[in-house]
Structure 1
Amino acid sequence: MQASKTSYDVVIVGGAVVGSATAYFLATNPDFKGSILVIEKDWSYARSATALSSSSIRHQFSNPINVQISQFGTDFIRDFRTHVVVDGDAPELGFHENGYLFLAGDEKGRAVLERNHATQVSCGAQVRLLEPDALGARFPWLNLEGLTLGSYGERGEGWFDSSGLMQGFRKKARSLGAEYIEDEVIAIHRQDDRIVSVTTKGGQTIACGTLVNASGTRGKKMARMAGLDIPVEPRRRSLFVVDCKTPLPGVVGLTIDPTGVFFRPEGQFYLMGTYPKHDPEVDPDDFDVMHDEFEEEIWPILAERVPAFEAIKVVNAWAGHYDYCTLDHNVVLGPHSEVRNFQFANGFSGHGLQQSPAMGRGLSELITYGSFKTLDLSPFGYERVPANRPFLEDAVI
C-alpha cells in the first residue's frame, strides 16, 4: 500500500493503540493543522501488544503521575463513544469496573501498599486498604494464610476491550484525515540533528517533519535506524485462560498475589499470568507460550491462594511481549535531546494500553505546541536515559 504523498508533517511508525492514540489527539486538536501518516506493518494487529495484553487499567501505582495518567484513561474510556463516534458508530469497550486487589504477604509488602495508598489517595484515587479480616469478609474465596494487607480499587479500575480502544482511535483519526498505510519502515534517514525521511519495505521514501516511534517491541530497533538508543527490550509474558469447576462468588477483581502471579475473570473463565521475570530480552517474533511457567508457578501459587483453583482446566493460552524499560519500568516519551524531531513513545513495560489516552494526548501537545499543556509528562523524557537517572515505578505487574 502506497502513501498518497511523499511528505507529511508527522509520520507515526506503529499504528496500534499508542500510535493511533497519538494520531487521534493530533487529528482532533484544532490547533494542529498538519498532515499525519501512520505506518503499520500488520493491519490485522494479531500480534500487537495491544491485542495480546490483559486489557486492564488501574490507578494503583507508586508514582503520582502514573496514577493521574490512568485516571485520565478511565475518564476517557467511560466516555469513549462520545470521543470516537463516526457516523453514529463507535466500539463498545465493555468496561468491567471490578477493581484491582493487591495482596501483601509480609510486613515489607504491607509497608509498600500503605506507602502507595497514601500516594494514590492524594491524587484522588478511590482505593481502600483492607486488613485480613476485611479481606475475608469481602472476598470469601481467598485463602488468607500469610496475608498482612490488601489494597482494593473501589472505582476506576478494571478491564475492557483493548482492540476496541485501538480501533476507535484509528477509525476516528482516519475520519479526520489521518492517513494509514500497511507497510514497514526499513530505514530512517537523518541529517545531522534532524530526521528527514523514512523508507518503507514497499519502496517509498517519505519525508517527515516529525517522526514518532510508536513501534512497540521494535522501538529499540527503530531508534537504532536513526543512530539512537534506548534501554528498552522485548520481554515475553504468557497468559492462560482457565475454566474453574467452582466459579468464585461475588465481585472478583484483578487479584495480584504477593508473588506477582495474578488472575481476573474473563467471561465465564479466568485469565491468569505473571509479570515477565524469567525471560531476558527475547525475539519480538517469538510467541511460544511458556506452558512450564503455568504448571510450575502460576497454577500452584493460585491454587494455594484461591482453593477453588485446585480444579481448573486451561482452555486457551497465548504469549505477548512487554516493551520493557530496563532503566525504571517507565516509558521514554518525547523528543531525543539532540535529534528533536524524533519523538519516543517506548518502554511502557506493560502499561501502554491503559496509558495510551494520556500519552497520545501528551505527544500531540509536544508536536503542536512544543510543550505539555495538560498533564506534565516531562519526567518521562529521554534526558533521564543518558543521565542514568531512573524515574522509578515500583508497582509493575
Structure 2
Amino acid sequence: MPQTQFDVVIAGGAVVGSAVAYFLTADAGFKGSVAVIEPDPTYQHCATALSAASIRHQFSTEENIRMSRFGTEFLRTFADALAVDGIRPDPAFHEGGYLFLATSAGLPVLQDNHALQRREGADVALLDAAALQARFPWLRTGDLAAGSLGLSGEGWLDAYGLLQGLRRKAVAQGAVYLPQRVAGIDRVSARVTGVRLDDGQVLACGALVNAAGVGAPALARLAGIDLPVQARKRSVFYVQCPERLPGCPMVIDPSGAYFRPEGPGFITGIAPPPDQDPECFDFEVQHTLFEDVLWPLLAQRVPAFEALRCVRSWAGHYDMNLVDQNVILGLHPSLDNLYFANGFSGHGLQQAPAVGRALAELIVHGEYRTLDLARLGWRRILEGRPVIEKNVV
C-alpha cells in the first residue's frame, strides 16, 4: 500500500523544494517522513532549469547577502556533502564574479550598497572609470562613474546539476518524490490536515511547505490565502561574438541588461519595460526585446558585441513578489503549519540552500538557528512594511 501520511509535505520539487527536503532529512533532530509533490519530474519548464544560473553577494538587503554567502559556502562543499554511493555531484561552480556598473546618477546607490556588502563580509571592490577601463579594456566606460566587482564568491553554475544533487541526496535520506500536483488542501481551523492530489490521492500531513514557484499563488488560494506573487516571463539569449572578452564577469549594465560568459559565447537578457511585463505563463521567447532593446544596449557597452550572433534562446519565469521583490518566508499568521518560500523575484536558485536550511530549522526546532530571516516573513506584507531589494536583475 502506498504511504498516505507524512510529517511534512512539500509542494514543489525544484531547487527550493528539494533544498527543504534535503535539509529536513539531514537534520539530526528530525525523525519524520517527507513527501515532495512535483508535477514535472523532468523539470523541463521549472524556473531552476531555465534560469541564468548565477549567484551573487551584491544585494541591498542584509538578509539577501547572508543567504547568498551561505549559498557560496554550500556550493564549495557540494560534492562532498551531497555524495551518494560514492558519486560526487558537480555543480560546476565558476567564481567569475559580478560587475555592477553605475553612471554618476546611480553612483550614490552603488556606494551605499557597496558599503553594506563590505560590512556583511562580501569580497567586493569599488572601481572608478579609469580602473574599469584598465581591467576590462573591451568595456566602453565613457559614461560610467564606477563599478562594484565581486572578487570571490560570486559567479555561475550548473543549475540542473545543483537541483539533481539536492534531489538525489534527499531521496537517499528518505524523502519520497511523487509526480503529481496538489489539487486541494484540507484545513481544519488554523491547521492544514492534508492535501489532495490530482490523481485522487489524499495525503495527511503534519506540515505543508509551499515551494511551488509560479504556482504558489494558486496553491495559497486553496488554503484561503492571497499571496502577492505573479509570474513574470524572462527571456535568455545565448550569443556568440568573434572577439574574446578576457576576464569577463557577469556584467550588470545601468540599463538593466546583463551578460556573462557561457562556453564559447555569452548568455544575456534584460527585463521588459514595466508596461510590457504582465503576468505571463507561456514560454514564447521575446525576440523583439532582443532585437530592439537588448542588442543595441550590449553593442553600446561592448563594441565587440556589434558583431554578435544569437545562437539560441529560451524563456522562463520569475515568481515576482509584487510588494518588495524579496522572498516571503515562513508561517502565515492565520495558519499554524503552512510554510511559505515564495516570491524570490529571480533569486531563488542562489538562495535555495539558505532557505532550505532556514525552513528545516523552523519546522524542526520552531525557530531560525543560523540566519535570522524573520524580517522576510509574512508580517511585513500584512502590515505594509516592505523590505525593498534594490538590486533586482
Indicate the TM-score class for this superposition, using the shorter chain for normalisation: over 0.9
1:294 corresponds, among 290, 293, 299, to: 290
Deviation at 1:339, TM superposition (A): 0.6
Partner of 1:245: 242
Cα distance in structure 1, aligned partners of 2:273 and 2:72: 28
Query: Shift in Å at residue 277 of structure 1?
Result: 4.2
1:242-391 correspondence runs (5 A): 242-248=239-245, 250-278=246-274, 279-284=276-281, 286-391=282-387
CA distance in 2, matches of 1:311, 1:281: 32
Secondary structure of 1:343's counterpart equals strand
Contact 1:230 1:385 in 2 (8 A): no
User: Matches of 2:33 and 2:191 in 1, distance apart?
Assistant: 18
Corresponding residue number in structure 1 for 2:175: 178
Counterpart CA distance in 2 for 1:277 and 1:94 is 33
Percent sequence identity is: 51
Check the 8 A contact 1:10/1:35 in 2, yes or no.
yes
1:276, 1:23 → 2: CA distance?
34
Contact 1:261 1:298 (C-alpha < 8 Å) held by counterparts = yes
Report the alpha carbon displacement of residue 105 of structure 1 after superposing the two structures with TM: 1.6
Native 8 Å contact 1:217 1:323 kept in 2: yes
CA contact (8 A) 1:10 1:209 kept: yes
Tell me what 1:10 maps to: 8
Shift in alpha-carbon separation, 1:283–1:188, aligned structure 2, 3 A? farther
Residue deviations 1:170-209 (CA, integer Å, cap 9, x gap)? 0001001110010111111111111111111111011111
State the TM-score, normalizing by the size of structure 1.
0.97
State how far apart, in whole Å, the 2-side matches of 1:277 and 1:172 are.
40
1:83 Cα deviation from its structure 2 partner: 1.1
Does 2:87 align with 1:89?
Answer: yes
Partner of 1:225: 222
Letter in 1 for 2:338: F
Residue 227 of structure 1: how far off its partner (Å): 0.6
Do 1:235 and 1:276's aligned partners in 2 also have CA atoms closer than 8 Å? Answer: no
CA contact (8 A) 2:272 2:289 kept: no
> C-alpha root-mean-square deviation of aligned residues, in Å?
1.0
Q: 1:78 aligns with which of 58, 76, 79?
A: 76
Q: What amino acid is the match of 2:332?
A: H
Contact 1:100–1:158 (Cα < 8 Å) also in 2: yes
Q: Which runs of 5+ in 1 are unaligned?
A: none
Q: For 1:155, give the aligned amino acid.
A: S
What displacement does 1:283 show? Answer: 3.4
CA distance in 2, matches of 1:317, 1:131: 34
| Residue in structure 2 matching 1:160, options 157, 160, 179 | 157
* Structure 1 runs of 4+ with >4 Å offset: none
Tell me the CA shift for residue 352 of structure 1.
Answer: 0.2
Q: State the Cα distance separating 1:49 from its structure 2 match.
A: 0.3
For the pair 1:134 / 2:118, whether they are aligned, the reply is: no
**Count of residues paired in the alignment:** 392
1:46 aligns with: 44
Structure 2's unaligned 5+ residue stretches are none
Q: Give 1:94 deviation, angstroms.
A: 1.3
Q: Which residue of 1 aligns with 2:142?
A: 145
